[in-house]
Amino acid sequence: MKGLFVTFEGIEGAGKSTQAKELYNYLKEQNPKVALTREPGGTDTGKKIREILLTPTEEVFPSLAELFLYEADRVLHVENKIKPLLEKGYIVISDRYIDSTLAYQGYARNIDKEVVKYLNKLATDNLTPDITFLIDIPVEEGLKRIREERGFDRIEQEDIDFHKKLREGFLKIAQEEKNRVVVIDGLNSPQEISAKIIKIFESRFKEYL
Ligand code: TYD
């Protein structure tokens, strides 16, 4: 059977990593061919790129440099990991993918969205997820969760306006791509959220269970 590509997206503190893991654990019980990965940092070289991106620095870090690094990480990820796994029939779950770049570098950092979309296409060789779960929470709640859990990295240090643009960006992407992107209310309990995600997954992709 052909592989299946699932992505999780959301603002900081939405709980998407937890949910990606939950879906992975659930699917793993019924299907050994499941893989969990993430961006940035889904490959060995990608891990180094991730470190560059997230380490606070005194230097100016222009948005374009950010964009190119995220896309470089993505090319490595798609070519070394995602595509080979899909070709072997795996369900591949990625914690973040193209929508993060459009939301962060496009909507929040104001890089021309058409440029971002074009680079996303180029970097992925047009590989679009079969389904994307957007875990949506209000900005204040997301930031509160991060503050309580672990403090902020370089990107999370941005002001509240940045995070608001980000959330709006994600919601706009969801509106524009209703068939692919499913918006999930991240304010419910983690158990309720994962039950909902599993239900949606089962209804759309029964044949993978
Ligand atoms: P993530 O791994 O979700 O962070 P954490 O483990 O701290 O939750 O993502 C790392 C950061 O990179 C996050 O702030 C979002 C940002 N990002 C972009 O700005 N553009 C992108 O294309 C991607 C994939 C991530």
Report H helices in 55-189.
63-77, 83-87, 98-101, 113-124, 139-149, 160-176
Ligand 1 centroid to Cα of residue 83, in Å, is 21
Ligand 1 centroid to Cα of residue 104, in Å, is 9
Number of domains in the chain: 1
| Whole-number Å distance between alpha carbons of 109 and 79 | 27
Q: pLDDT tens, position by position, for the chain (209 residues)?
A: 789 999 999 998 899 999 999 999 999 999 999 999 999 999 999 999 999 999 999 999 999 999 999 999 999 999 999 999 999 999 999 999 999 999 999 999 999 999 999 999 999 999 999 999 999 999 999 988 888 887 666 666 668 889 999 999 999 999 999 999 999 999 999 999 999 999 999 999 999 98
61 is in which domain, residue-wise?
A: 4-208
Q: Within 6 Å (CB) of ligand 1, which residues are found?
A: 12, 17, 38-40, 70, 96, 100-101, 104-105, 153, 155-156
CATH number of the domain bearing residue 169: 3.40.50.300
- Give the DSSP H or E segment for 9: strand 4-10
| Whole-number Å distance between alpha carbons of 96 and 20 | 10
Q: At what angle do helices 113-124 and 63-77 cross, to 10 degrees?
A: 20
CB neighbour list of residue 104: distance below 8 Å, 6 or more residues apart? 66, 70, 155, 166, 169
Ligand 1 centroid to Cα of residue 42, in Å, is 12
Ligand 1 centroid to Cα of residue 153, in Å, is 10
Q: Residue 120 phi/psi, 5° resolution?
A: -60, -45
Q: What is the pTM of this model?
A: 0.95
Task: Quote the tokens at residue 25.
Answer: 């654990």
Ligand 1 atom 19: the closest Cα is on which residue? 104
